[in-house]
Chain A
Amino acid sequence: MNLSRPLGLIAALLALTTLYALPTFAPRAMVQDLFGILTLLVLAMNWNMLAGFAGLVSVGQQAFVGIGAYAMFAAVILMGLDPLVGVLIGGLAAAAFAVPMAFFAFRLNGAYFAIGTWVVADIARLAISQWKALGGGTGTSLPKGTAKDMAFVGPIKEALGVSTAAAADALTFWLMLTLAVAMLATSYVFLRSRMGLGLQAIRDNENAARSVGVDPLRIKAAVFVLAGFVTGLCGALAFIQITRVTPDAAFSVIDWTAFVIFITVIGGIGTLPGPIVGVIVFYALQRLLADYGTVYLIVLGCLGIAVMLFARRGLWGLFTDRSGIDPFPLTHRPPTSLALRHGDLK
């Protein structure tokens, strides 16, 4: 009997409970730190879905972060809505932007797709810089008191006995954690579904996928738009905590895409736990090398290259290959009784 599955599940539940409880006992700085990590995790899971499972190597994910963030700011500043409603609007705006972006970028393949998405993201950045009502190129801040008036902040403040700012941090932390968990669960269910199988077939060989009845355009477009939606939600949520937005920060290819690529590649592209492993390594390195400035980026780069060369499925892939343990397998196993009947004793 295979114990890795229940053990993995128990470990995951324990970790999850601790994380949810964190704002009740941890210092605010730690909650903020973890919020940043969760943000990168959500972005990495989305990028992994595109590059690792759909074969869509996008270098333009910052477009969705930026549009999500700006839509949230617009909802709060121009329409006077609650920031949480703004987050939802941010996700929807990003999804809406993903439709024409897919229409354009899907005409390109491989490296051209990557460059195409980057170009589109930069066009979005330039366009947003013209939005005078939101500060144009210099950006703008959330109005004072936004956090205090945000839904749920009052009750949280009372329950935890903390400042308004800390309560707002706790709220955004819980939302980001929930987004990460939802993304993980949805990815797992989707990838094990008929559509998920079709998606992986497309990634491996689009021509052959078409020839067994899979419609690549439909599935890839659906995944691209959904990833845009979640990335938009994530960006909007992240900027509630940052409270200030500029086109350069919101559409930063380094912060929202390059780091995310490293995280996914190091952890294990095309594996479900890969981004989680990657984000832990990323954070540990950041902590370890915090005093050495840019050395940190150089180490990260070298590690990324080493993994690409010697462990194409990242640290997680290395682990499952060596140990044979995979608590969250995506593979469809043939029915054992049938396999045995057919003399398949391995």
Chain B
Amino acid sequence: MPILSLQDVSKSFGALKVTDGVSFDLEAGQALGIIGPNGAGKSTLFNLITGNIAPSAGRVFLDGRDVTRAPPMERVRAGVGRSFQIPQPFGNLSVYENLLVAARFGGAVSGAEAPGFCMDILTRTGLAAVAEKPSGALSLLQRKRLELARAMATRPRVILLDEIAGGLTDAECSQLVITIKAIHAEGTAIIWIEHVLHALTSVVERLMVLNFGRMLMIGAPDEVMASAEVREIYLGIEA
């Protein structure tokens, strides 16, 4: 049974159809990449999966259970962790405390285990040195790392990552890919929205292309990238 399944999900903001009949299955432990031009509805799709916004039509299943009406916190506890494209830290709390909230609530980690658990993730994401800093004082780069770290702290079985590689140097990007591959290797399913294609394709097994809210294609990355239609959309973004 797929861990996540979308059936004909649509979302409109007024007259604007931002998500248009999207259906797909994600098997446990699988990594799926999502690409598409700006405004294609990628982040909206994440919000529909996590319950941050409700679909206008269609249904969302987690482990075969219909969660279309379930609030975000219920879906986190069911194993869906996410990052936000525009970082949303708990600004008055320290970096460490940001993770602690996620671990104690979403991850159901016990009070005794939480400190070590959180420090471990901070180390893996390169944030250990700023653990005690108020998260509101972080640089954009560090905020993006915190998004990844906080999502990891909810102990997800499927983690949704929204453009976390933008603006990184080559070295930082390789480091990030190593971290994500490690998460994947632990059996966590991944959906990753990313414009940095070489990073994305080095991790994911399948690639989805969104355009104007519609799923244009889904399949093996090299097949998808070879398609003339996709190349046209992506012409000039990255070869």
B residues touching A (Cβ–Cβ < 8 Å)?
Answer: 50, 52, 71-73, 76-77, 82, 84, 88-94, 96-98, 100-102, 104-107, 111, 115-116, 118-119, 122-123, 128-129, 131-132, 150, 153-154
Contacts and interface: CB of A to CB of B under 8 A. Distances in A.
A322 interface: no
Interface stretch (A108-116, A199-207, A284-292, A295-303): A199-207
A342 B84 contact: no
B contact face: mostly helix, strand, loop, or mixed: helix
Interface string A308-340: 000000000000000000000001111100110
27 contacts: A194-B104, A194-B105, A197-B101, A197-B104, A198-B104, A198-B105, A201-B93, A204-B89, A204-B90, A208-B88, A211-B82, A212-B106, A212-B154, A213-B73, A213-B76, A213-B154, A214-B101, A331-B97, A332-B100, A334-B118, A334-B122, A334-B132, A335-B115, A335-B119, A339-B128, A339-B131, A344-B131
Contacts of B102: 212-213
A209 interface: yes
A343 B128 contact: yes
Contact of A342 (B73, B94, B123, B150): B123
Interface residues of A, number: 29
Contacts of A213: 73, 76-77, 102, 105-107, 154
Given A200-B93, A342-B122, A334 B76 contact: no
Contact of A208 (B89, B96, B131): B89
A132 interface: no
Given A212-B76, A343-B129, A205 B122 contact: no
Contacts, number: 107
A346 B82 CA distance: 29
Contacts of A82: none
Contacts of A215: 71, 73
A334 B115 contact: yes
Given A204-B93, A209-B101, A332-B100, 13 more contacts: A197-B100, A198-B104, A211-B50, A211-B73, A213-B76, A214-B73, A214-B105, A332-B96, A332-B97, A334-B115, A334-B131, A338-B115, A346-B132
B135 to A, nearest CB: 9
Contacts of A198: 101, 104-105
A276 B111 CA distance: 31
A209 B90 contact: yes
A333 B132 contact: yes
A338 B116 contact: yes
B156 to A, nearest CB: 10
A332 B94 CA distance: 8
Nearest to B71: A210
Interface string A92-122: 0000000000000000000000000000000
Contact of B101 (A212, A334, A342): A212
A346 B96 CA distance: 14
